[in-house]
Amino acid sequence: MGSLPTSRRDLLAGGAVAVGAVAVGSLVTPAVAATTQNYALNNSPMIASPEDLIAYGQRSKYVKSFRIHEAGRPEATLARYRDFGLTLHINAPLQDFLGTVAPSSTHYFATTKGALLPDIDPKEHTLTIQGLVDKPLILTLDDLKRFPSVSRFHFIECAANSHTAAHKTVQESHGNTSNAEWTGVLLSTLLKEAGVKANAKWFIAEGAEEIKGADSIPLNKGMLDTFVAYGMNGEPVRPHNGYPLRLIVPGFEGIFNTKWLRRIEVTENYMLNMDDYGHLRRDPAAAALGYQIGVKSVITGPSGSQKLPGKGWYEIRGLAWSGQGKVTKVEVSTDAGKTWQVAELKGAQNPQAHNAFGLMWNWDGEEALIMSRAYDDVGQRQQTSREAAKSLGATYAAGYNPPGNRNTIMAWKVAKDGAVTNGLDALNSIV
Amino acid sequence: MVSMPSIASFKYLPILLLAATPALAQSAPATYGIGRAPTAAELAASSITIHPDGTGLPKGSGTAAIGAKVFVDAGCEACHGVKGAGGVTSAPALLAAKGPEASPWDRGVMAVKAPYATIMWSFINRAMPFGNEGSLKPDEVYALSAYLLAVNKVIPEDMVINQDNLAKVKMPMNREPATVAGPNNWVRVPEWQPGQPRFKGYPG
């Protein structure tokens, strides 16, 4: 025993519980348990080897929440890994997330061009800062942890996170985004240490994976809020998310948030690296959107494939975020967009982060089309596809979406029997 | 480790405390002096960045004829098909189905669509061949670049490609001035500023 009971009362209480659990467990008959439950008794069995969970915990075996492959992308089998061209996109179970922080084990991740998962020894790994700097630097993990640190909540989202009418769940439609608390050192701190030359305007961030993915990023973003993260949700960054170092570029498309970061090179010009080549655009309107995720929200519950057991009160819950800044307001409609109510924003409103929202709803048992829309502090509101077409001077046709990341409104249809299905076609049919 | 004062030096403790106090209130210095300077060799070896103007390219050269052999020997053909025609695996075709009369956007492949030939060189050098990345020697990368440019009719079959002329290859994508929208041009990335919205014209 670690410590002795401090009083006779503690001793009696502890002993009574232990004895009661053993004795009652063997006496209760199923018939009795099914009809009346005696709340004084503890009928739960005990976890078999709790000592195994002391050093490193696990979730309850009753919690079934898993990542899935994005529909239409190759699965993550070894054979597929070996087949060049694989773009592995793994969707997070947003419908199961409670609050705003994604559990690290189910945080979304994506790779391009068949990236395998590097197995990096942190003792061997360094970050090199070079290019247009006065004093190039090689920094170890231990070095990086000596600088002043920041801990910030930020979402990361793949630019291809695009909901369609074919998606059955919110995990399929919106699962290529997750939010975590990232800890690390501001890139501005490191660049000041190295001394940036006057003609510098861009920097390259490069990963250590087999294809050495690299992006050009505006230096003013690098000096504003970009940081080199070694921590994720209170522990070292997970391998799928870039262990041991990941660049966090708040609000920019996922691909800029370079995993397995090994090199920062400051440059004068846009470098047209491999990842930049993937961003080549023909349409000026699309090129201008290249970096940022727009203002976006989605109802995660009730959401596709769930079922409401009957009419009555429910909290409509969801996530809202903007790559442009802070979410200022979320509205929810339960009548196909005829009227909107302001939802409650939960907790602190972090910029470029998922924000949880909720709205209590008394469902009358009739068919309903529910949806959310977010506002942000640069003054924009999430639009339907039709609204977006009008705002951008485009002609609306079925399937229209604004260029770049799809941040239009998503709708869910609640049937009379409580079944929830994709409501996007129903939304887009409303003129 | 800083050695602790012995009991005998206890009388100096107030002085030590006084000396320590300013350290607690110290403001952030301009730099922290953390990390080390790379050696010249480390610095030269670490960057694999190739600038659009060719800065960063190592010495070397190659022709399409040599490249055709490397394309088979290095295993490129196994994934990308004969002459890079595709269709073998999910690896993309490297030989455009459409000829030079078509827009580079419609021809699609990197040897045509890349605004600078250096992009392709850099891509092959860092990311190919799949499963054995970084194993090609500079001459092999020049030869493969020459081969892919030649089969797509961007350069003549017999042209020797090297560190001096690769960046000067006139690519099909870069035929109009930077500021002019056209079928053979790409849109330059605008400057990003904090607080800049992704779309203009979205209502609040």
- pLDDT tens-digit profile of A74-99? 665 555 555 544 567 889 999 999 99
Which residues of chain A are within 8 Å of residue B37 when distances are taken between CB atoms? 135-138
Cα Rg of chain A (Å, integer): 25
In single-letter form, the type of residue at position B14 comes to: P
Phi-psi region at B60: left, alpha or beta (left = phi > 0; alpha = psi -120 to 50):
left
B115/A272 touch (CB, cutoff 8 Å), yes or no: yes
pLDDT of res. A78: 54
Exposed/middle/buried for residue B42 (C-beta within 10 Å: 0-12, 13-18, 19+): middle
Q: Show Cβ contacts of residue B146 under 8 Å, excluding neighbours closer than 6 positions.
A: B62, B63, B64, B66, B67, B155, B159, B160, B161
| Of A237, A371, A228, residue with least CA distance to A300 | A371
Q: Which stretch of A105-119, A293-307, A373-387, B118-132 has the lowest confidence by average pLDDT?
A: A105-119
pLDDT of res. B75: 94
> B48 to chain A: nearest residue by CA?
A212
Point out the residue among A114, A147, A279 whose CB comes nearest to the CB of B130: A114
Which residues of chain B are within 8 Å of residue A271 when distances are taken between CB atoms? 49, 51-52
A224/B194 touch (CB, cutoff 8 Å), yes or no: yes
Tell which of B79, B166, B202 to mutate to test the A interface (max A CBs under 10 Å). B202
Point out the residue among B34, B92, B123 whose CB comes nearest to the CB of A147: B34
Mean pLDDT, range A368-372, rounded to an integer: 98
Distance between CA atoms of residues A315 and A343, nearest Å: 10
B199/A146 touch (CB, cutoff 8 Å), yes or no: no
pLDDT of res. B182: 83
Distance between CA atoms of residues A345 and A330, nearest Å: 7
Phi, psi of A316 (to 5 degrees): -75, 125
| Of A242, A272, A240, residue with least CA distance to A259 | A242
Strand order in the sheet with A126-131: A137-140, A126-131, A261-267, A202-207, A214-218
Chain position carrying tokens 């090179």: A265
Phi, psi of A382 (to 5 degrees): -60, 140
More confident residue, A116 or B46: B46
> A116 to chain B: nearest residue by CA?
B131
Q: Show Cβ contacts of residue A424 under 8 Å, excluding neighbours closer than 6 positions.
A: A163, A164, A165, A410, A411
Which residues of chain B are within 8 Å of residue A340 when distances are taken between CB atoms? none
More confident residue, A23 or A29: A29
Helix pair angle (B64-73, B138-151), 10° resolution:
110
**Gap from A410 CA to chain B (nearest CA, Å):** 17
Point out the residue among A146, A211, A283 whose CB comes nearest to the CB of B127: A211
B90/A83 touch (CB, cutoff 8 Å), yes or no: yes
Q: What is the dihedral of CA A140, A141, A146, A151, to 10 degrees?
A: 140
A380/B199 touch (CB, cutoff 8 Å), yes or no: yes
B49/A280 touch (CB, cutoff 8 Å), yes or no: no
pLDDT of res. A14: 39
Q: Which residues of B87-108 are buried (b: 16+ CB within 10 A; e: fewer)?
A: eebebebbbbeeeeeebbbebe
Point out the residue among B38, B79, B114 whose CB comes nearest to the CB of A84: B79
pLDDT of res. A121: 98
A287/B105 touch (CB, cutoff 8 Å), yes or no: no
pLDDT of res. B18: 46
Whether the ω angle into residue B203 lies within 30 degrees of 0, i.e. cis, is: no
**Gap from B65 CA to chain A (nearest CA, Å):** 25
Number of Cβ atoms within 10 Å of the Cβ of B156: 10
Residue A225 tokens read as 């809020």
**Gap from A150 CA to chain B (nearest CA, Å):** 15
Is residue A8 over pLDDT 70?
no
How does residue A38 score in pLDDT terms, banded at 50, 70 and 90? confident
ipTM of the complex: 0.85
Q: Which stretch of A86-90, A219-223, B66-70, B102-106 has the lowest confidence by average pLDDT?
A: A86-90
B187/A281 touch (CB, cutoff 8 Å), yes or no: yes
Interface of A with B in 367-386 (CB under 8 A): 375, 378-381, 383
Q: Which stretch of A4-13, A159-168, A252-261 has the lowest confidence by average pLDDT?
A: A4-13
B46/A128 touch (CB, cutoff 8 Å), yes or no: yes
> B132 to chain A: nearest residue by CA?
A210
Tell which of A187, A266, A277 to mutate to test the B interface (max B CBs under 10 Å). A277
Which residues of chain B are within 8 Å of residue A224 when distances are taken between CB atoms? 194
Interface of A with B in 393-422 (CB under 8 A): 393, 402, 404
Is residue A139 over pLDDT 90?
yes
Q: How many residues does chain A have?
A: 431
Which residues of chain A are within 8 Å of residue B74 when distances are taken between CB atoms? none
| Contact assessment for residue A123 and residue A191, using Cβ atoms and an 8 Å cutoff | no
pLDDT of res. B91: 82
